[in-house]
A and B are shown apart, each in its own frame.
Chain A
C-alpha cells in the first residue's frame, strides 16, 4: 500500500478477503507471516494496536451501538474525559470533533442522531468518521457497497475520492467489478486464500472476472446427452426479498424439464439462495408463481413441497441440512420419520430405521464408524453424502441441489456428481446451483446465469467459460438490446455499479470474442498452474 492509494481487493465470497483484513485489524492472529508498516514488522495483539498503528476498519456488519448517538459511538474507546479518576465524558468536545471531521470530508453526519434511526448509508459514514477521528492513515472498507443502494454507493465513492485526496490510503474489499474499475488505483485478486494476480483498473472486466472465478480442480463428469421431457418446475415472474427486506430475486422465469440438469451459475449473492429457498417454501414469494407438474406450489409449507416429490440439498449443510448431534441413521430419516415403515402412530421403529440406514450407507458409500455415530463426527464429504442419500431415497420429480459439493473432498465430489447425473437419467428434473463455474458446466445440460436477482442469460454447457464469466459479471456478449438494465443507467463513468450493462467500451470488449477469449485463456492457464499446490487441500473453509 502507498499513501493516497485506493487498493481494491477483489475476490469471490469465502475467498479470504475479510479474514485477511481482520488479521490486519488485529481481530484474528496470523498463523504465520508478518505485517509490515513503513518497512517495520508490526505485531497486533488486538484492535487497539491496529488503531495505534493508524489502521482503521469499516466492517461489513457495522460496529455501532444502535441505541447510542453518533457522538457516543465515536467517543467509545477513545473518550475525552474530565474530572480525573471519575472520568466524566467531555461530550461537548467530542461533539465538536465529530462535526469538524464530518464537515472536512463532507460526510454530513449529525452528531446527535441516534444510530438506529439512521439509514444504512449514513451509518456507514458514521463508521468512516469514527475511523477518521482516530487519525488513521489506512482505512479498510469491507464490502462497503453490499448494503447500499446505487445512490448511496455513488456517495460513498465520492467520499473515498475525497479521502484519497487528503492522503489517506484505502483498502476496498468487494466482488463488484464496476466499482473496482471506477475507483481503484490497483487491484489484487484473491481466490481460496491466495493472491492470484494483480491488475490495473485498465484491465478489462472479463480479465478480472476470469481471475476472480478462476479455475479450480477440473472435474469431468461422464454423462450422455440429456433427453428432456415435460417441464416439471416452472417458475415465472418470481420476486423474493432477502433477510434485510431488500429485493433479492427480481422477476425470475425458469423452467426445468424432466430428465435434464439446469445449472444456475452466478457470483454468490445475486439471489440464488433466495430463489431456491422460495421454491422450497422457506421464504415468502412476493410475486410470481412456482409450479410443479403444472400445480402451483408457491405458498405451500416446506413439508408439503417435500412430500410433493422434491428433494433438496441445502446450501449450508451444518445449519439447514443435518442435526449434527443426531446419529447418521436418525439424520437419514429426518424427512420421513413419521411415515411407515419408520414411524407408526406415536412411536418410531428403530429396527426399520437401522436397517434402512445400513442400506443407504452401503449404497451411498458413506464412510462412518457406525450408523449410530453422531453425524457431526463425519467429514464434510460424508456428511454431504448423508444428505444426498436421504434426499434421493424418495421417488422424486424434482431434485434441487444448492452448492452440492462446497467444502467436500474430491472423491465425494465425483460420487455426488455421478448420483446427480444418475437421478437425471432416471427422468428426474434437476436444478443445481453452484458458485463453482466448473461444477455447473460439468453437470448442466443448460446453464442459467443469475445476476442481480435476474436470469441474465440461458446458455448451453459448451458455451466458452469466458462468455459465462462475462454473463456472471452482468455483461451480455453481443446482446442486441437484451440487457436487463438497459436504458436507465446513466453514462458509464458515473455509474460504476451497473456500468456493466451499458458500458460502451465493455461492449466493444465483449464484441470481439476472439481476442478476448485468447487473453483470458492465457490468464486462466497461468492461474491454474499457480493455484495447483493450493487446490490439493480440499478444505474450502
Chain B
C-alpha cells in the first residue's frame, strides 16, 4: 500500500544520548568517592584501624593507618566511578559497581574504626559476618517465601504474619512436645495456615491480594497475641520454653578463617536458609515446576492454553511459601529467644523489600537480605564504639536503597507481569 500524501510524522527516536545508565551510576560513584576521600580522609585519625580476624581484639588482623585507608579506599571508589563515566563495557558494570561500593564502605570503616575511643579501635570481622547472617536469617526465609508466591503471581504481603505464626507455633508445639523437630514441623504448618488463607481468598474469592496480606498480618498478631497472654504468660514453663537447636560445627569448613567460625558453627536454620536459596534457585530456573511457575506468574492465560493448571499451581506455591516463612519464624523461637508478643517486629516487611531489591530471584533476595543484615549489624557496632554517626541513620539506609532500586536507578526492577492479578478463566 502506498504511503502517499501522509505528512511526515516523526516517531521520537529512542536515543539515550550521552547519559547512559552506566554513566549516571558512574557519576554517583564519583560523588561518593570524593566524599570518602575528602571527608572521611579528613575526619579519620592517624590511629591504626584494625580489622581483626577473630571475635575480639586479639589475633591476626588487617591493619591500616586510618587516614591512609580512608583516602585510598575513597580513591578506589573514585576510580570505579571514573571508569564508568569513561564508558565501561556492559559486562563490567556489576563487578566495577561492587568494587566501588565495597571500597566506599571500607573507607567509611577506616574513618570510624580509627576514630573510635582508644582501646576500641578494632573491628572483629567474625562477629560482624556472623551478626550479619544472624540478622539476615528471617529476611532470607521471608523473601524466599515472597519469591515462591510472587513468581506464581500472588503478591505476598503476609510474610510478616507467616513468620509470626511460624515463630508462635514453633514455640508452642516445641514446648508441649519437648522436641525441636516437632516444633519445626509445627512452625511450617503454622506459616502455611496463614498462607492457605491468603491462597483461598486471593485465588478463589479474588480478594485484593495486598489488602488480604495486610489483614492476615493483623490476624496473626491478634491470634498469637491472644494465645500468648492466655497460655504462654500464665504457664511459661509448659507452653513457652521450647528446646533449642544447638550449633552444629561442620568439620573442615569451620576451620576457614573468618568465614569458618562465622558461618559453619551455626544452627540448622542458617544451613537450611542457604540450602533453600540454592534449591529454589535451581528449581525455579531449571525444572519443569520452575518453568510452569514462572509462566503462571507472567502470562497465566498462555500457560492455561498449554494445559498448565494455573490455579492449582498457585495454591501449591503459596502454601509452600507459608511453610518456608514459618520455618523462618522458628529460627527465633527454636534457636534464640522464647516467644514474645509481636516478636517479628516488621521483619516480614523488610523481607518484602529484600524480595524487590533482589529482583524476585532467590539469589538476589539472599544478597539483599545480607545487605540489610549488614547495615543492621553495622548500626549496632557503631553504637558500641560511640560513633558520631547515629545508628538510626545507618538503620535507615537499606530502605533508602530499596526506594532507589524500585525507582529504577540501580537498573530495571520488574515484577512478574501477572503478580497480584487474579486469574479468571475464559
Q: A68-B298, A89-B288 are in contact. Are A251 and B305 (CB under 8 A)?
A: no
Q: Does A459 lie at the interface of the complex (its beta carbon under 8 Å from any beta carbon of B)?
A: no
Find the B residue at minimum CB distance from A25. B305
Given the interface pairs A27-B426, A81-B287, the reply to whether A66 lies near B417 with Cβ below 8 Å is: yes
A533 sits at the interface (CB 8 A): no
Please name all residues of chain B whose beta carbon is closer than 8 Å to the beta carbon of A59 when the two chains form the complex: 305
Q: How far is the CB of A247 from chain B (nearest CB, A)?
A: 8
Q: In the complex, are the beta carbons of A239 and B6 less than 8 A apart?
A: yes
Kindly specify which of A325-333, A347-355, A395-403, A483-491 makes contact with the partner chain.
Answer: A483-491
Residues of A within 8 A of B290 (CB): 89
Asked if A81 and B288 sit within 8 Å, CB to CB, the answer is: yes
B226 within 8 A of A: no
Cα distance A333–B288 in the bound complex, in angstroms: 55
- A287 interface hit (Cβ, 8 Å): yes
Q: A residues within 8 A CB of B2?
A: 485-488
The interface residues of chain A lying within 8 Å CB-to-CB of B308 are: 76-77
Q: Is A346 an interface residue (CB 8 A)?
A: no
Of the listed stretches A43-51, A158-166, A275-283, name the one at the interface; the rest are far from the partner chain. Answer: A43-51
Contacts of B306 in A (CB 8 A): 47-48, 51, 63, 76-78
- The answer to the question of B294 belonging to the interface, with a C-beta cut-off of 8 Å to chain A, is yes
How many residues from A make CB contacts under 8 Å with B? 44
* A288: Cβ under 8 A from any B Cβ: yes
Of A63, A64, A77, most B-chain CB atoms within 10 Å: A77
CB of A75 within 8 Å of the partner chain: yes
Interface residue? B291 (CB, 8 A): yes
Label chain A's interface by main secondary structure: loop
Contact of B303 among A66, A77, A150 (CB under 8 A): A77
User: Which residues of chain B are within 8 angstroms of A86 by Cβ–Cβ distance?
Assistant: 283, 287
Expressed in whole angstroms, the minimum distance between the Cβ of B273 and any Cβ of chain A is 21
B223-282 interface with A by 8 A CB criterion: none
Please give the distance in Å from A508's CB to the nearest CB on chain B: 22
Q: Which residues of B contact A62 (CB under 8 A)?
A: 302
Q: Does B19 contact A (CB under 8 A)?
A: no
A-B contact count (CB 8 A): 96
Scan A398-427; emit 1 where CB is below 8 A from any B CB, else 0: 000000000000000000000000000000
- B283: which A residues are within 8 A, CB to CB? 86
A134 to chain B, nearest CB (A): 9
> Which residue from B1, B5, B7, B307 sits with its C-beta under 8 Å from A77?
B307
Given A88-B286, A452-B1: A65 in contact with B301 (beta carbons within 8 A)? no
Q: Mark B1-36, 1 if CB is under 8 A from A, else 0.
A: 110011101000000000000000000000000000
Are the C-beta atoms of B286 and A89 separated by less than 8 Å?
A: yes
Compute how far the CA of A286 lies from the CA of B7 in the bound complex, rounded to whole angstroms: 9
Which residues of B sit under 8 angstroms from A81, Cβ to Cβ? 287-288
Establish whether residues B291 and A75, one from each chain, have CB atoms under 8 Å apart when the complex forms: yes
Residues of A within 8 A of B426 (CB): 27-28
- 8 Å CB contact of B298 from A51, A65, A88, A487: A65
- Once the chains bind, are A79 and B291 in contact (CB under 8 Å)? yes
Q: Report if A498 contacts B (CB, 8 A).
A: yes
Query: Which residue of the partner chain, among A75, A87, A150, contacts B289 with CB atoms under 8 Å?
Result: A87
B304 at the interface (CB under 8 A from A): yes
In this assembly, does A531 line the interface, its C-beta being within 8 Å of a C-beta of chain B?
no
Select the residue from B292, B306, B308 with max chain A CB neighbours within 10 A: B306
Instruction: Establish whether residues B295 and A498, one from each chain, have CB atoms under 8 Å apart when the complex forms.
Output: no
Of the candidates B9, B286, B291, B298, the one having the most CB atoms from chain A within 10 angstroms of its own CB is B291
| Smallest CB gap from B298: residue in A | A65
Given contacts A64-B302, A76-B292, contact A251 B286 (CB under 8 A): no
Q: B421 at the A/B interface (Cβ < 8 Å)?
A: no
Contact (Cβ within 8 A) A27 B1:
no
Contacts of A510 in B (CB 8 A): none
Q: Which of B9, B288, B304 contacts A287 (CB 8 A)?
A: B9
When C-beta atoms are compared, the residue in chain A nearest to B304 turns out to be A47
CB neighbours (8 Å) of A212 from chain B are none
Q: Is the CB of A63 within 8 A of B1?
A: no
The verdict on B341 contacting chain A, using a C-beta distance below 8 Å, is no
Question: Min CB distance, B70 to chain A, in Å?
Answer: 43
Answer whether residue A274 sits at the interface, using C-beta atoms and an 8 A cutoff: no
Given contacts A57-B305, A76-B295, A286-B9, contact A150 B1 (CB under 8 A): yes
A234 and B2 CA atoms in complex are apart in Å by 25
For A286, what are the chain B residues with a Cβ–Cβ distance below 8 Å?
Answer: 9
Asked whether A237 is an interface residue with its Cβ less than 8 Å from the other chain, the reply is yes
For the complex formed, measure the closest distance between the CB of B323 and the CB atoms of chain A, giving whole angstroms. 18
Given contacts A287-B6, A488-B1, contact A67 B298 (CB under 8 A): yes
* Assembly CA distance A78 to B295 (angstroms): 13
Give residues 27-77 of A contacting B (CB, 8 Å): 27-28, 46-48, 51, 57, 59, 62-68, 72-73, 75-77
Q: Shortest Cβ distance from A57 into chain B, in angstroms? A: 7
Nearest CB to that of A73 among chain B residues?
B302
> Does B316 count as interface, using CB distance less than 8 angstroms?
no
Chain B residues proximal to chain A, CB less than 8 Å: 1-2, 5-7, 9, 283, 286-292, 294-295, 298-299, 301-308, 417, 426
- Going nearest first, the 8 A-B pairs with the smallest beta carbon separation are A77-B306, A48-B307, A63-B302, A87-B288, A488-B2, A287-B7, A79-B288, A65-B299
A-side residues, CB < 8 A to B, are 25, 27-28, 46-48, 51, 57, 59, 62-68, 72-73, 75-79, 81, 86-89, 150, 237, 239, 247, 250-251, 286-288, 452, 485-489, 498
List 28 interface pairs A-B (beta carbons < 8 Å), by A numbering. A27-B305, A28-B426, A47-B306, A63-B299, A64-B302, A65-B294, A65-B295, A65-B302, A65-B303, A67-B298, A67-B417, A68-B294, A72-B291, A76-B302, A76-B306, A76-B308, A77-B303, A78-B306, A79-B288, A87-B287, A89-B287, A89-B290, A237-B7, A247-B6, A287-B9, A452-B1, A489-B1, A498-B1
